[in-house]
Amino acid sequence: MSRYTKSPEAVAALTPEEYHVTQESGTERPGTGKLLNNTEPGIYVDIVSGEPLFASSDKYESGCGWPSFTKPIEPAHVAELPDRSLGMVRTEVRSTHGDSHLGHVFPDGPADRGGLRYCINSASLRFIHRDDMESEGYGEYLNQVEDVT
């Protein structure tokens, strides 16, 4: 059994915006997310389940208004599903264990880094600084995080 689960307590602790994004497949307004301009070393985890999703070393400035990543830190923790809402076909990204809506993935990322852009809502993420990863139980991912200081 996974140590990453969606609990009623975690859902109850969400802010209204976090709830709307993660539980109702909402989207935060572009340019407003608390983690958009974060450049600190660390990892981004699902705000509901805590499962590791993205590393700071895979984050880049795409100009789209949401945090963008080239790949998941743990591919098994990111599910990709067809999304036909808004009259178009996109690929929705959800956390595997928390079933949180994270955002979407597009094929317009940096070609030299795989060509994908994971466009993720800040409201679906919790950032864990590199200095706190070991104490918070994410030490196994330290080798995937560049120390940018």
The set of catalytic residues is 119
Strands (E), the chain: 42-46, 52-55, 59-60, 68-69, 78-83, 90-95, 101-106, 117-120, 125-129
- What are the phi and psi torsion angles at 53 (to 5°)? -120, -50
What are the DSSP calls for 106-122, one per residue?
ES-S-GGGTS-EEEE-G
